[in-house]
Amino acid sequence: MRPHLPAARQQLEARRHSTLLALVALMSLVGVSLSSSTAVAAAPSLAIVSPADGALIANGTPVLVDFRVSNFVFVQPGRVGQIVLPNEGHANVFLDVQYVRLLTAVEPFSLSLTSGAHTIRIQLVADNGTPLNPDVSASVGVVATHGPQGGVPRVMILSPTPLEATGHGIYVSYRIENFTLVEPRGQPNAPNEGHVQLLVGTDVVMEVIQYEPVLLVSLPEGDITIGVRLVNNDDTVLANPSASATVPIHVVASSAVSLPLVSNGGVALLLAFILIVLILRRRKLAARDANARGGNP
Amino acid sequence: MNARIFALIVAMIGMLVASGIPASNGRGAPVPTLSIVSPTPNAVMGNGTPVAVVFAVTNFNLTEPGNGTSSPNSGHVDVFVDGALTAKASVNTIVLALPSGPHTIRLRLVTDNGSALNPDITASVAVMATRGPAGGTPGLSIVFPREGALVGTDSTLSFRVTNFVLVAPGGPAGVPNEGHVQVRLDTARYAELTDDAPLHLNLKDGPHTVTLQLVDNEGGPLNPDVSVSLHLTVQALLGRVTPFDATPYLALANLLIGLGILAAIYRKLEAH
């Protein structure tokens, strides 16, 4: 039959044949590539992109956690008719030991942190909540603080000025830089946060968390030193020398102290003067009497 | 006629059965479940941080509210805090900001149009929110002055509170690690402190006892009681240095001179 076919028809047949072959080849190629991708993608992986390990989360802000997942599909757990597949599930997030998030999408999420060191751990789990085998998790350590990100904590005493003569009660005003004051509540230390101690000589007389001037009363008289220093939450002094400041002052008695002395002394002088005048007048009188008696008896 | 009525009754019973069975035991799909994974019951959520509620569902498709597909096995979760609808969730974590005090968080599965499932599927958990730390024993100490100190009439008392947050009185009762400081001076009430600012004392001369006590929002003592007492002796003009205090001698001199003046005047009067 074939030799009887016209040449044009033969040509068409051949072209159709080759197209079919090409299609088959393409399909098999796609099939191979698909099967190879599933074969290689056996191990899901997880990485935390941000924050970096050991990052300082400053200013008391929440931390934004960004992560990447490969070879793993996030699905809503507990769906109708769901079957457990090896490369499908969701992620659990733990802040220290607390379970804080169940993630069903690879999207950044934010966590509020208290001051101190924390560990954020993300773990991939299957649809039924069991960890993958082998376990796939990533963790990152961060340090949270209410203080600023950088800079050297510094304190300066603005008033009193060095060697100033003051009364027994004075306002101490100071300026704090790169340091945030927080209530000391026994929380862990964190960079650039803490409170202020005021010292008279070497004694800590006050612990405050205020930026406004502080009133010191009943200061001992004489040459004394007033100190202001920044301390950690656990009362340890910051290592850097600019976190403490001292100022020598001279405390002098107020006029109220010398008032009894002055008034008593004044009254004594006045009385003594009156007495002397009286005595002198009496003597003069006695002398005149004697003269009169002697002159004309 | 009778046959038609019988057929009708049979058909109605059949319809009832057919409609009733899937509704009662879900022959089409298993009954959805809902459970709260975190927080654990009666957990204390400290530092005033928002509470992350993590829940798990089974046989239920969580969908964004308002997508129009109403089916008994899909929808979202209504979140109630102390009975009030607070949020809707279509993901498994809800972050709730709670004020201090005990709270009940209740979750309920609802269909897309907001109606409860039949039977109603809910889960609830009781938590305690506090602005103080979640754990730890409250402590109180006096930084300055020291026990038995001799102070002037004007003095300042600096104190330190640990594992306890000071808040204005009047909050809910029974909240752990939050409240204020009550100050008693010689057994009489002297002040209530709601912040860390040092306490300024202006006392009469003599011995005094100052007692600081941590109390809860209602003013009741903590259990166990946390208080600290300080004995002070107040002396006016303490710290004032006078090189030589002549006041008593001058007083005596004044008296003697005064007597002298009287004597002089008397003798003068007698002489006349």
Compute the distance between CA of residue B268 and CA of residue B272 in angstroms, rounded to an integer: 7
pLDDT, tens digit, 9 for 90 and up, residues A199-246: 999 999 999 999 999 999 888 888 999 999 999 999 999 999 999 999
Inter-chain CB proximity B61 and A76 less than 8 Å: yes
Cβ separation A168–B62 shorter than 8 A: no
Put simply, whether A133 touches B (Cβ < 8 Å) is no
Q: Looking at CA atoms only, how far is residue A158 from chain B in angstroms?
A: 20
Tens-digit pLDDT profile for residues A161-205? 999 998 888 999 999 999 999 988 888 999 999 999 999 999 999
Nearest to B126, CA basis, from B51, B229, B198, B59:
B51
Give which of B56, B49, B60 is closest to B93, Cα–Cα: B56
**pLDDT recorded at residue B265:** 85
Q: Helix or strand or coil: residue A73?
A: strand
| Omega of the bond leading into A77 within 30 degrees of 0 (cis) | no
Identify whether the C-beta of residue A213 lies closer than 8 Å to the C-beta of residue A127: no
User: Given CB atoms, is A114 within the 8 Å cutoff of chain B?
Assistant: yes
Q: How far is B21 from chain A (nearest CA, A)?
A: 19
Q: What is the pLDDT of residues A94-113, one digit of tens each?
A: 999 899 999 999 999 999 99
For A208, nearest residue in chain B (alpha carbons):
B197
Would you state the pLDDT for residue A139? 96
- Say which of A80, A187, A214 has its CB closest to residue B29: A80
ipTM: 0.74
Whose tokens are 């002298």? That residue is B260
Q: Is the pLDDT of residue B144 over 50?
A: yes
Please report the pLDDT score of residue A2 as a whole number: 42
| B44 vs A contacts (CB less than 8 Å) | none
| pLDDT, position A71 | 93
> What is the per-residue pLDDT for A291?
81
Residue numbers in A near B163 (CB within 8 A): 185-186
A116 shares contact with chain B (CB less than 8 Å) = no
**Amino acid sitting at position A87:** N
Give residue B9's pLDDT band: very low, low, confident or very high (50, 70, 90).
Answer: low
Task: Give the one of B154, B164, B242 whose C-beta lies nearest to A257's C-beta.
Answer: B242
Please state whether the peptide bond connecting residue A51 to the residue before it is cis, i.e. omega within 30 degrees of 0: yes
Count of helix runs (H) and strand runs (E) in chain B: 2, 18
Instruction: Tell me the C-alpha distance between A154 and B13, whole Å.
Output: 86
Q: How far apart are CA A175 and CA A163, in angstroms?
A: 19
Q: Which region holds residue A235: left if phi is over 0, alpha if psi is between -120 and 50, else beta?
A: left
A189 is written with which tokens?
Answer: 């230390």
Average pLDDT over chain A reads 84
pLDDT recorded at residue A118: 96
Measured between alpha carbons, how far is A172 from A166 in angstroms, rounded to an integer? 11
Query: Residue B6 has what pLDDT?
Result: 59
For chains A and B, CB pairs below 8 A equal 179
Using left for φ > 0, alpha for ψ between -120 and 50, and beta otherwise, residue B254 falls in alpha
